[in-house]
A = this chain, B = another copy of it.
Amino acid sequence: MSFSRKTKTVKLILDLFENTSNALSVVELTDTFSKKMNKTTVYRILDRLEEAGELHSFTDKDGLKRYAKNFSKLKGLNEQANHPHFMCQDCGISSCLPIEVSAPSIPNYTINNSEHLYIGHCNECNN
């Protein structure tokens, strides 16, 4: 297993992800925990949590890596199923969408992985 010790810093981050289903960037997390842990620690913990399957990640439009809890835990959806991500151009929140997306088949190409990112206005910012 790639993360073995439940340190206090790991617990803090795990707790945070228990309480949000949004996708958070390292920048947001280091800011939130600036008094509690070093930024390098945040990077390393997220790495390990992803390895361990607790979190998953994607790269947003700005090139920032964002993490969210494993989607199967979030919606009871098939863990294998690929889902898209959303980012609100007003408030900046980012989230996993409970939808299945599929990749097309291209002659002579193999597609192993697909990333779908939608940008627009969230329900909060819409009305």
Residues of B contacting A63 in the complex (Cβ-Cβ under 8 angstroms): 59, 63-65
Kindly specify which of A10-18, A27-35, A36-44, A114-122 makes contact with the partner chain.
A114-122
Interface size on A, residues (CB 8 A): 35
Copies in the complex: 2
A80 within 8 A of B: no
Contacting B at CB under 8 A, from A79-127, are 84, 86, 89, 97, 99, 101, 103-104, 106-123, 126-127
Selected contact of A115 from candidates B110, B115, B127, CB within 8 Å: B115
Q: Evaluate whether A120 and B126 lie within 8 angstroms (CB atoms) in the complex, with A63-B59, A97-B106 already known.
A: no
- Of the residues B60, B84, B114, B119, contact of A112 by C-beta under 8 Å: B119
Is there an interface contact between B120 and A110, defined as CB atoms closer than 8 Å? yes
Contact A123 B108 (CB under 8 A): yes
Nearest to A123 among chain B residues (CB) is B108
Q: Is the CB of A112 within 8 A of B97?
A: no
